[in-house]
Structure 1
Amino acid sequence: MSTERLWQLARFLGVIVAVFLIGWLIIRLSSFMYPFVFAFLLALFSRPLVDFFQKRLRINRGWGAFLSIILMSGLLIGSLVLIIMQLIRGLVFVANQLPAQIQELSLYFQKLYNEKLAPIWNDASEALRSLEPSQQNTVQNSIQSLGSSLASAIGEGSKNIAGMLQTILATLPSIALILVIVLLAWFFISKDWHKYEIRLKQYEMLPWFARAESVMTSLRSALFGYIKAQLTLITITFFIVLVGLLIIGVEHPFAIAFIAAFFDILPYLGTGSVFLPWIAYSMITGDTGLAIGLAILYGLVILQRNIMEPKIVGDNIGIQPITALIALFVGIQFFGVFGLILGPLVAVILKALHNARIFHYLWAFIKGSPTPFR
């Protein structure tokens, strides 16, 4: 192998090692820096409002940052209060209906036991009595072992739930501290945003600055686009469920549609958290018409989500729908539930790097004839 090929191989291995080191460093730092990342994103969102206060209303930028934080926090808290109120309204409706539904379910299971399970149990008891004593002992021991295993599993599950609740309560002080840090960092970043811009302008003449700026612009556009895409999908789900419930004739359709849209945020679970138990209950209680209507509505929601998500996400973050679909699938395979978010994000990062011709320059560097950043 020639010396030139050896140097190309060395540069290729160097690029691979550098990429892995940068990825490892980002992952390590993310566990320490995530409050400041959130603060930076919030400052990025609130920047137009702060600029409005400073330039149009002639308010000191520090006070403008403070007012923008108050307004955005109030909007966020108000939205959460609205969501919680709608959830409470739906839960109150469910709680009012629950006693009658529980009684109806009890009657159903009692009827099921009397007509189906009791004869089977009697036949099993007769068959057990016809066995030899040793065989009877074996069957009884197996039943006892199964009961012990079930009780142990229930006990372990209860212990895990209690431990999880205890962990959540123990982390509340840490969550409060992180929230304070995010708010303070949000204020300082918003207040001194223009100073950071001035410092960045000092690097405008450097050859790599334009490429880095292009990557950041693409990522910022994709971030806003992804949030817009998810809000669009949730809104579509809300109106489909609302119209469907109005057609079916269900009580409190607005509250139920709001709850379904809220659960639509959750990966995998989604609106199935609302519809599947409801459909099962309707089938058990004999309300077949309602069960069929809910099943059709749920199918429409799933169908529109699977069809529209790649298109809407792709259009809003600037990639082709098939690319968005591949990113969603690969993300789920590698990262599970979080892949629904990380998959498109990685695709956007790769597209931003491609648009900035970063891969072009890396390949030129590996070949030994790097093109200057210009």
Structure 2
Amino acid sequence: MKNRLKRLAIFAAAALCCWLTFSYLMPFIIAWCAALIIEPASKYLKKKYKIRRGFTAALGTVTIFGGFGAVIFLIIWRGILWLAEIIKALPQKLSGIPQLLNAAEERLYGFIIAAPPEFQDFLINAADKINDGLTALPARLYERLMGFLGSAFSSAPKIILFIIASAIGTFFLSAGFDEARAFIKRQLPEDINNKLEGASREAAAALKRWAGSELTLVGATFIQLTLLFIILRVKNPVFAAIAVSLIDALPVLGTGTILIPWALTEAVSRHMNRAVILIAAYLSIAAVRSFLEPKLLGEGRGPHPAASLLAIWLGFRLGGVWGMVLFPIGLMIIKRLHDSGYIRLWR
């Protein structure tokens, strides 16, 4: 009973820490991680060229956040141009839908007339509701899109403040990295410090393995998508492949969120060859990922799929898209620490 209460208390504390992290401390967690990335280069430059920490901290902060910002800006900019091209071509792609719907409606009403009289009223009401729903679908999609864009613009100041806090925190933590680490160590007993150092090494190894695996998987997906977009004569095939590959790296989402609706659109437009190519490409990408993932991450070494799904759901509820990405990574690190004996949360 005591062990169960202890485990429950640990899980409650972990949940509270996650909530606090995503609600209040996330900019400083990012700043600490960025300072850890800068630290090896900072040590090397100080030892080799006697460059002061303040300069290396500023240089590292500008490099990380400037580079990240430039990549995000480029992706958003090219994404907007790509989306504009898709929207421009959409009327032509969907020109066959009215004819298809009219044919389907004629067949449906023929089926209703042939049905027994006692079912005809029910079937007519159902058909009318479906027709009303399809008619209102474009307006609903437009409303959702405008709502999304409005929320994105309204949250822009919060995002900018978040980035500024992370960047300033990175600079100060990197400039005083030794002092910050020494201060933290002084607050903890020696045995806990030793465990934390070992746990940090294990966590770093898990993150390194995960990052290498994800880069390999994204690279394999990128190569296949580039070939696909060249075959389909898509404009800017390399950028399009990069964008879809990054979507594929996100939990739950994947290439199917882009390729399957695209294939359906092509099928509705009666471009069956393109639709078949898209479906075949999706199946090929999924097969390659399923083949490579166990070999890269290790059979049975990662969390159980159900636990990963739970982490994705909790992450989404607590932290949105960032939570969906970070919670499964955190679960992977926790399992690595549990397997190495640094923590004991389950049997």
TM above 0.5: yes
- Asked whether 1:37 is paired with 2:29, we answer yes
Among candidates 43, 46, 56, match of residue 48 of structure 2 = 56
On the 8 A contact 2:206/2:332 being kept in 1, the answer is no
Cα shift at 1:195: 1.4
| Distance in 2, Cα, partners of 1:117 & 1:204 | 73
* Letter aligned with residue 342 of structure 1: F
Query: How many residues end up aligned between the 2 structures?
Result: 337
Equivalences for 1:58-97 in 2 at 5 Å?
A: 58-91=50-83, 93-95=85-87, 97=89
Structure 2 counterpart of 1:322: 300
- What's the CA shift for 1:238? 0.4
Match of 1:345 in 2: 330
Mapping of residues 214-293 of structure 1, within 5 Å: 214-246=198-230, 248-252=231-235, 253-293=237-277
Of 194, 197, 212, 1:210 maps to 194
1:294 to 269, 278, 301: 278
What is the aligned partner in structure 2 of residue 16 from structure 1? 7
Report deviation, 1:127. 8.7
SS at match of 2:240: helix
Q: 1:357 to 1:169 in 2, by over 3 A?
A: closer
Give the fraction of aligned pairs with identical amino acids, expressed as a percent.
21
Moved more, 284-293 or 145-154: 145-154
Structure whose CA Rg is larger? 1
Question: Is 1:117 the counterpart of 2:105 in the alignment?
Answer: yes
Structure 1: stretches of 5+ with no match in the other structure = 1-8, 315-319, 364-374
TM-score (norm 1): 0.73
Match of 1:192 among 149, 159, 176: 176
- Look up the SS of the partner of 2:50 in the other structure: coil
How far 1:151 sits from its partner (Å)? 8.9
C-alpha deviation, 1:66, in angstroms: 0.7
2:267 and 2:275 in contact (8 A); partners too? yes
Greater mean deviation of Cα atoms: 73-82 or 176-185: 73-82
Q: Where does structure 2 lack aligned partners over 5 or more consecutive residues?
A: 317-322
Q: Deviations over 1:73-109 (max 9, x none)?
A: 2221232244235434533543554443344x25xx3
Q: Given the superposition, is the C-alpha separation of residues 24 and 282 from structure 1 closer, same or farther in structure 2, using an over 3 Å criterion?
A: closer
Q: Is this contact kept in 1: 2:65–2:167, CA < 8 A? A: no
State the superposition RMSD in angstroms: 4.0
Residue of structure 2 equivalent to 1:368: none
Counterpart for residue 26 of structure 1: 17
Alpha carbons of structure 1 residues 159 and 198: separation in structure 2 relative to 1, 3 Å = same
How far off is 1:220 after superposition? 2.3
